A and B are shown apart, each in its own frame.
Chain A
Amino acid sequence: MDNQPDPKKTYSIKDYPIRTIWLFKSALSGGVGMLITIVIIGVFLVPALSDSTDSSAAVISIGFIVFAVVFFFLFGVVFNLAILALQRSAFSFSFEDNFIVLHQGIISRQQRTIPYAVLQDVIVKQDLFDTLLGLSSLTVENAVQTPIMGGGRNGYQYSRYSRNSLGFSGNRVSIPGLSKADAQTLKLIVLAKMKQNQVHPSVTGL
């Protein structure tokens, strides 16, 4: 493993893949949140249902609801998993000499080329389950202005979901589900290429 990444070489997703375990983690953690909500609602519904005069009918209806919840949960997780798997297979990145070239999109394809000179920062992060599974998420950002959603608190631009999703959007490129070592290696590669591709002295920082 080279200590100093070679800024001249091209690095692509083939060498630094998104791990399959991330698909499961992402689908499940999305599903678990939904499940907890349903359980909390269910806890309030059960006493209301058990008020009915016929006790056996109450048991059947509760059983039916439990079955429906579990079924929809599993269906939701499997559906989520399928979408994520498709997104992953449609996504590709390539760190070339002067640009990052990215492709994404299941139905409508998008291609993006970002020069290293305009990249602002590199972020590597892990959420709770990522830490347990040994995954990391790599994000690079450029200076594109994005519309501010959800008004109120000044500049809270992204929902938590879009921050961790796979691909490029607005001013950032997010690659979640990399192994910890791969994420660190890619970070060093990007930083080396950024250094290699400095802006000319007439422009400050941007």
Chain B
Amino acid sequence: MSKTREKYPLSKKKIIKKTIVSSIGLIFLMGVIFICSLSFLAFLQNAAILLIALIASVIMFVVLIGLVYYYQTWYFATYYYDFTDDYVIIRKGPLTPKEITIPYERIQDVYVDQDLFDRMLGLYDVHLSTATFSSGMSAHIDGVETAAADGLRTFLLGKVQERVGSKNK
């Protein structure tokens, strides 16, 4: 756990948010499969098989959500971000880690946003970007609460101003 993460920590609510989003996606998917197989099940005209299928799908749903929750906990634990003297390092992903390093001088903007579920849970997503597109997609710290989000944003903007802005004077 880096000093930056201790000072501006990720919120545990992030795990819940990701699990909820996956659950909704899963419900939608299972709904689609159910509708597609409806004609097939009606043709069988056997209530017992219908019941078994229903119970099996509920069990499968619970198991999958459990797996998603476990994966999100793992993701949360291995989420690494650090603001060193010269650059920002963000490393995400337990199985397929991706690490991006951005020097402060290259930061083009810092923005903070919330999607629908973030708003419900009071979380923010802090984005950095450089002049490349893929940095905008992968250099972000999502799932921080208000205090941490403001702190991160202020710190980053301060650092950028120090490295880039003052030289223009």
Contact = CB atoms under 8 A, between A and B. Distances in A.
Interface of A: 119-128, 130-131, 141-143, 155, 157, 171-172, 187, 191, 194-195, 198-199, 201-202, 204-206
Interface of B: 86-87, 95-103, 105-108, 130-135, 138-139, 164, 167-168
B139 to A, nearest CB: 7
A126 B97 contact: yes
A204 B138 contact: no
Contacts, number: 78
Given A121-B132, A126-B96, A141-B135, 8 more contacts: A120-B131, A120-B135, A121-B100, A131-B95, A157-B133, A194-B103, A198-B105, A205-B164
Q: Which of A121, A126, A195, A206 has the most CB of B within 10 A?
A: A121
B82 to A, nearest CB: 13
B101 A122 contact: yes
A206 B131 contact: yes
Contacts of A206: 131
A96 to B, nearest CB: 19
A3 B8 CA distance: 28
A191 B131 contact: no
Contacts of B138: 123
12 contacts: A119-B106, A121-B135, A123-B98, A123-B100, A123-B138, A125-B98, A127-B96, A128-B96, A187-B101, A191-B103, A205-B107, A205-B131
